[in-house]
Amino acid sequence: MKTPFWHQGWYRFAHRLDSPNFGPRPVDTTIDLVVIHAISLPPGVYGGQDVQDFFTNQLAFERHPYFNHLRGVQVSAHFFIRRGGELIQFVSCDQRAWHAGESQHAGRSDCNDFSIGIELEGLDGDTFTPAQYESLISLLPVLAMHYPLKHTVGHEHIAPDRKKDPGPGFSWGFLQQGLGWDHPDFPE
Active site members: 119
Three-class secondary structure of residue 69 per DSSP: helix
Round to whole Å and give the CA distance between 129 and 131. Answer: 5
| Bridge partners of residue 7, in order along the sequence | 10
Looking at residue 64, its amino acid is H
- C-beta separation of 172 from 166 below 8 A: no
- C-beta separation of 39 from 122 below 8 A: yes
> Cα 133–186–29 angle (5° rounding)?
100
Let me know how many helices (H) and strands (E) the chain has, helices first: 4, 12
Looking at residue 175, its amino acid is L
Phi–psi pair at 5, nearest 5 degrees: -80, -15
